Structure 1
């Protein structure tokens, strides 16, 4: 299964252990990483880089500009996610976590931080495509909701400013509510400004007088 247009993926994976005693663990991690990356490629993805979580500055992420970040955390998923979330705080990106860490006590925190997919013991190629597709759809949905919320908040703030400016005009020029609003609209049209901008100017002048 492919996930539509080729996704540019940044893979965040643990460093290989340095000590000789940890060689079996290093081999296991390397095999896990090969399996994950192979599955991503089989699903039509492009891997732009493979980086350790503790060497993931936000500037590097911005430079790579991936469509999605895949976190491969065999264990200690929370620590890996903290680095990724910090690196993407200036620009949110969809994040999918693949882990063998069965501790799900921090799943809620992960989702709140922007993780769109949280998969435990699920590196099968046939499963990864579906996980990425769902993660991208969920991320786009959340982004749309964020924009709608921001637009609603902006509209509410604009209404507050316009209402205050109407009140100033009504009080100082003895206008009715409809007439005060009409005067605001006319001023905005004549000057090619937004209604909120004209209202704010009236408030600024009122504060100085």
Structure 2
């Protein structure tokens, strides 16, 4: 059943400042909570019918752009479909802001665009930017692509974050080794061995022990 969500339904301050982490999404999960953002009842009906024929019944529609983020927060959707028939630049920027904030798979439908707007959409994290493609029979494959791209991007982001953390931890460990080498007159291998033994004895990560050494050394300057 598709239900509209009126603009005045959510009070400011009544929703969290961000959405919880998204659950693991599968395109064949018919229980997905899908939100359609569309001011045109006719165009929204195309999306709704396409979702209905694909078996998705947990669909809500948001009309109007007032308090848009708050209303999306209140629904906590799994996927967001945004349709912009002939949007102004301000409207597009607002929708890009939604994409940056909510961290959910987003497909955006527009009738016309330019290369700069496409680049901005990618930068904002829009998973699918569909130009002149609002047709009922395309809704399901676009939904599947949107979820797939979102998951791939999330994996890549997690891998990059992990690599960044590992690099930072390596710098911390190297700095702690240098401190130990100077303080105790030992070589690098011995300094690392001391860090490792201390971490094992205290049941902590080597990086945590290294950070403690750095902090203590800074206090003793």
Q: TM-score range by the shorter chain?
A: 0.7 to 0.9
* Contact 2:37/2:62, CA 8 A, preserved across alignment: yes
- How many residues of Structure 1 are paired with residues of Structure 2 in the alignment? 193
* Alpha carbons of structure 1 residues 192 and 175: separation in structure 2 relative to 1, 3 Å: same
1:47 counterpart = 2:59: yes
Kept after mapping to 2: 8 A contact 1:11/1:70: yes
Structure with greater helix percent: 1
181-190 or 122-131: bigger deviation: 122-131
The answer to whether structure 1 residue 10 and structure 2 residue 35 are counterparts is yes
> What's 2:42 paired with?
31
After superposition, residues 191-206 of structure 1 pair within 5 angstroms as: 191-206=202-217
Unmatched runs of 5 consecutive residues or more in structure 2: 1-26
Alignment of 1:97 onto 2:104: no
Q: Answer whether contact 1:76 1:101 (CA < 8 A) is retained.
A: no
Cα RMSD between the aligned structures? 2.0
TM-score by length of 2: 0.80
Is the Cα contact below 8 Å between 2:80 and 2:107 reproduced in 1? yes
**Distance in structure 1 (CA, Å) of the matches to 2:156 and 2:87:** 31
Q: TM-score, normalised by structure 1?
A: 0.84
Partner of residue 17, structure 1: none
Q: Pick from 158, 161, 165 the counterpart of residue 150 of structure 1.
A: 161
Q: Distance in 2 between matches of 1:32 and 1:128?
A: 12
Question: 8 Å contact 2:38–2:61 — kept in the other structure?
Answer: no
Asked which structure has the greater CA Rg, the reply is: 1
